[in-house]
Amino acid sequence: HLSDCTYFLSTFLVGLVGVSVKQKLIRCNQSARSLIQLHRRDPSNWLTYQHLNFLKRQVTFTVLYISFLFVLCDIELIYPTKISSTARIILLEGCLLRNGALQNDSVSSADLTSDETPHVHEETDEAREARLDKQWKMLKVDVADLPDVYAKLAKIKLTALVVTTAAAGYAMAPVPFDPLMFFVSCLGTGLASCTANSINQYFEVPFDSNMNRTKNRPLVRGQISPLHAVCFALACGVPGVTLLTLAVNPLTGLLGALNIFLYTCCYTPLKRLSITNTWVGALVGAIPPVMGWTAATGCLEPGALLLGGLLYSWQFPHFNALSWNLREDYSRGGYRMMSVTHPAMCKRVALRHSVGLIGLSSLAPVLDVTTWTFPVISLPINLYISYLAFNFYRKGDRSSARKLFFCSLWHLPMLLLLALTCKKPRKDAEDPALPPAPIPMTLQS
């Protein structure tokens, strides 16, 4: 019976000491918080010995608590099967309190003494794969995948459209066609577009990951590192702008550098700040045909501005119809688009610029860019896109937006092709060659 009495007394003392230590530690913790708040309110005051009084209590009861743990371990060794549940609870509460996990007795004794079998969570293969995908891992780049990665990083379809509009601007210029200069200007414009698109994706990785349309981009999926993407952008941008400046002319190189700056430093951050990003983006899309014109002529003329105006107005029905069906995606990404924040304005602007294409087409013969045939033969396609824009303005549903968007995809190539077929001949080509000037007869002496 002596062993049972010893067990009872030791258990009782352990419980009393554990509860007392727990209460003291809570008060010490509160004193520490009070001291921190006092110092934050007036950091200029020196901390006195009275202020640090809580440290003495903290050290004292920490030593007492460690001694209590050693006593408990000795009791466990003496009575391995008779240690009480109360002591176990106090030990567990003390350990949780020291780790900051127990606040205001959030763990109850009933939860700790429950005899229920704990639930073991079985992780599925899909959950394990998703968990591992979010963890840091070594990035391995497969050289065979790099062409596809670079194509996605450069947005190869958008770059092809930019090069096409630049080629149209070069072809519409009233100068003889130079195949070598045409190829160099298109190559430099394409490299500048690759740079702008790559830097744009570098800045938008956190936001692209929230959108279904952009979540499979190379940087989001981790196919290449951000440093790799920046190196690719520099490898395209530096030769591209240099080629346009030295091999074509400085004006075209300046426009190429300006377009990279507008797209990366103005349009990209504005997407999260204001709906004016759409107008800045339209200006970026209007510069490539102007670059093609200046590459051919070396100067900025009204014809170049007209082609830029056509591209500027075309982008509003094109992009507004696209963004209308991607409103949820843009909202998740945090982008301030007209379709998200100003839906009525989105429809009005698309209709306004669709009708504006008719007026801009009529200006082409006035500026000696095309013949008067162009406004007539381009009127049906301009009226059709205006009709679809009016339906989009009136209904504002997904179907009307989708029809307007797909119409814009074939409308621009058709409009540029019609303008090229109706290009006004050069004056030096239509004027007959002048006869040589007669040699004046000299008087004979």
Question: Can you tell me the mean pLDDT for 428-439?
Answer: 48
| Residue 354 structure tokens | 């669709």
- pLDDT for 16 equals 58
For the chain, the helix, strand and coil percentages under 3-state DSSP, each to the nearest 5: 75, 0, 25
The two counts, helices (H) then strands (E), for the chain are 22, 0
Q: Which residue has the higher pLDDT, 260 or 82?
A: 260
293 and 307 assigned to the same domain: no
In a domain, 134, yes or no: no
In a domain, 114, yes or no: no
254 and 158 assigned to the same domain: yes
pLDDT band of residue 35 (cuts 50, 70, 90) is low
Task: Calculate the average pLDDT of the chain.
Answer: 77
Please determine, for residue 54, whether its predicted confidence score (pLDDT) is greater than 60.
no
- Lowest-confidence segment of 36-45, 137-146, 150-159, 249-258 by average pLDDT: 36-45
Please determine, for residue 312, whether its predicted confidence score (pLDDT) is greater than 90.
yes
37 and 172 assigned to the same domain: no
- pLDDT for 20 equals 62
In a domain, 124, yes or no: no
Cα-based torsion angle of the residue sequence 401, 402, 405, 407 in order, rounded to the nearest 10 degrees:
-110
Please determine, for residue 72, whether its predicted confidence score (pLDDT) is greater than 60.
no
249 and 324 assigned to the same domain: no
CB 151 within 8 A of CB 197: no
Q: Which of 281, 299, 317 is the last residue of a domain?
A: 299
**What's 274's domain CATH number?**
1.10.357.140
61 and 87 assigned to the same domain: yes
Phi, psi (deg, nearest 5) at residue 370: -130, 175
- pLDDT for 282 equals 92
Question: By percentage, how much of the chain surpasses pLDDT 90?
Answer: 43
Tell the residue number behind the tokens 């100067």, with chain if given: 299
In a domain, 91, yes or no: yes
Phi, psi (deg, nearest 5) at residue 174: -80, 60
* pLDDT tens per residue across span 374-408: 999 999 999 999 999 999 999 888 999 999 999 99
Rounded to 5°, angle at Cα 410 from 296 and 421: 45
264 and 360 assigned to the same domain: no
> Which amino acid does the sequence have at 425?
P
* pLDDT tens per residue across span 227-237: 999 999 999 99
Tell me which residue of 238, 408, 227 sits closest to 313, measured CA to CA.
408
Tell me which residue of 357, 347, 352 sits closest to 415, measured CA to CA.
357
In a domain, 148, yes or no: yes
> What sign does the dihedral 194-195-196-202 (CA atoms) show?
positive
In a domain, 110, yes or no: no
Q: In total, how many domains does the chain have?
A: 3
329 and 311 assigned to the same domain: yes
Query: 35 by DSSP, 3-state: which?
Result: helix
CB 162 within 8 A of CB 190: yes
In a domain, 439, yes or no: no
410 and 274 assigned to the same domain: no
Please determine, for residue 103, whether its predicted confidence score (pLDDT) is greater than 50.
no
- What is the separation of C-alpha 327 from the centre of its chain, rounded to a whole number of angstroms? 15
151 and 274 assigned to the same domain: yes
In a domain, 116, yes or no: no
pLDDT band of residue 91 (cuts 50, 70, 90) is very low
Measured distance CA(158)–CA(139) in Å, rounded: 28
Tell me which residue of 214, 257, 205, 266 sits closest to 236, measured CA to CA.
257
Please determine, for residue 88, whether its predicted confidence score (pLDDT) is greater than 60.
no
Phi, psi (deg, nearest 5) at residue 366: -65, -35
Q: Which of 105, 120, 155 is the last residue of a domain?
A: 105
pTM: 0.65
List 423's β-bridge partners, or say none.
370
**What's 332's domain CATH number?**
1.20.120
312 and 290 assigned to the same domain: no
359 and 387 assigned to the same domain: yes
Please determine, for residue 226, whether its predicted confidence score (pLDDT) is greater than 60.
yes
pLDDT band of residue 76 (cuts 50, 70, 90) is very low
Phi, psi (deg, nearest 5) at residue 425: -65, 155
283 and 159 assigned to the same domain: yes
Rounded to 5°, angle at Cα 217 from 212 and 222: 115
Q: Which of 248, 277, 299 is the last residue of a domain?
A: 299
For residue 404, what are the domain limits? 301-425
- pLDDT for 22 equals 54
Please determine, for residue 133, whether its predicted confidence score (pLDDT) is greater than 90.
no
Per-residue DSSP letters for 391-430?
A: HHHHH-SHHHHHHHHHHHHHHHHHHHHHHHHTBPPPHHHH
